Amino acid sequence: MEELKHYVNGEYVAGTTGRFSDVFNPATGEVQAKVPLASKAEVDAIVAKAAEAQVGWGATNPQRRARVIMKFGALINEHMDELAELVSKEHGKTLPDARGDVQRGLEVVEVCMGAPSLLKGEYMNDGGPGIDLYSMRQPLGVVAGITPFNFPAMIPLWKMAPSIAAGNAMILKPSERCPSTALRLAELFKEAGLPDGVLQVVNGDKEAVDAILDNDTVQAVGFVGSTPIAHYIYHRAAENGKRAQCFGGAKNHMIIMPDADLDKAADALVGAGFGAAGERCMAISVAVPVGQETADALIERLIPRVEKLKVGPYTSEEDVDYGPVITAAAKERITGLIDSGVAQGADLKIDGRGFSLQGYEDGYFIGPSLFDNVTPDMDIYKEEIFGPVLSTVRTDSYAEALDLVMKNEYGNGTSIFTADGDTARDFANKVNVGMVGINFPIPVPLSYFSFGGWKKSAFGDLNQYGADAFRFYTKTKTVTARWFSGIKEGSEFNFKQMD
């Protein structure tokens, strides 16, 4: 069995605690590797080495740093299939989905190739009598990223690319469930020319996370995961004087108006609700048809589409739509929520419980489940399921549907399907959610905008990637300058005086 290591100062280093976490193959339930769990002392030592490396990297001009980012992007593209295989092996998602995971991270890397333009300050000549003012963006120093299991390539790249392009050193703590992709990305970054120590990958659990949060050298922390942990990390980081951007859970709704193209809406719901086994913070987990006729027609279209979904391992020779969920505990929790939906009176149209795949009976597979007549007081509506379950909440009007989204405690993403521009515009302007789709089910912004939710989906002032990332990973220094009359008045000056 493979024993993974930390990646410190450009090389693999074995853990010293004797504590390990099992890395499972979700398709078979078998342990395929062990990953070391770092102690506070290990984290502190790694941070100290990163601080040493950051001095030279921060003094490197932005254009030269961008050249390293450019080479890194080329290497990611070159190793796309290898990286996707690593993602699928530990996460369980299909290879096409895994390639998408890597690709969306690569797109942020590509934007960071233009870091010099995003790091420019401002200048004002003669802001006062003989006074010039200018500002400059400087790196924070050592920063940290704590990333989740569901996107083992994309979210680490969202953290490491802008922070390193801005001149910082990054401590990356990937999920202990899916650590191999982050470790391989660190190797590729070194191959691209990144100096040793600028990117450190430390594996660990809560002890390592707390060590990062309590280390005085670490200036900023970025996190993606569940809302309770996001809230905990944000507050502990703030108490220790660190910047923090922490992104949590979601309960994303898609409103379907009576004038919507219902076939397109149904296709969008199936892809957005069940892709990646529903393990996405931007998954649509609630369909909100407006009007009983709309709801009946939508359910009529959804049932055959959901029934046709193929579930299987990423290694299957047949095309599969999604793979297993991440752990046995996740599977148990999802099936428990389906049980509660039935017990609380929801209409279970398609039941994914009890799904079994020949040859993979011990894998963490769950069939797709479709609920109708879900109400906001039910557990399957209130909780983020993070699995292949789609709930339908019927509403009688656009106002009622909008109110449903507005009152939900989460505010990550939402969408509306309609043929009416006025309705779409009203929805986009009024809804209190960070990312909005119009006839677009998963409104993840392109990499030159930024990603971020509202309400209990996010803690912190700035979003991920785009210009916000460079604001987060730098501090602004403003200079007010005045020069008194000098050599240009009353003195002679020529080149002979320089001899």
Q: Which residues are catalytic?
A: 281
CB 197 within 8 A of CB 13: no
CA angle 24, 340, 389 (to 5 degrees): 55
What CA–CA distances, in Å, run from 302 to 60, 84, 306, 397?
A: 55, 30, 6, 21
Q: How many CA atoms lie within 13 A of 131 on its CB side?
A: 7
Phi, psi of 308 (to 5 degrees): -85, -10
According to DSSP H, which parts of 79-170 are helical?
A: 80-91, 95-112, 115-118, 154-165
Give the single-character DSSP code of 497.
G
- CA Rg value for the chain: 25
CB 182 within 8 A of CB 152: yes
Determine the Cα–Cα distance for residues 434 and 152; give it in Å rounded to an integer: 23
CB 253 within 8 A of CB 405: yes
Determine the Cα–Cα distance for residues 370 and 278; give it in Å rounded to an integer: 12
Residue appearing with tokens 């993403």: 413
338, 391, 341, 332: which is closest to 365 by C-alpha? Answer: 332
255, 239, 201: which is closest to 4 by C-alpha? Answer: 201
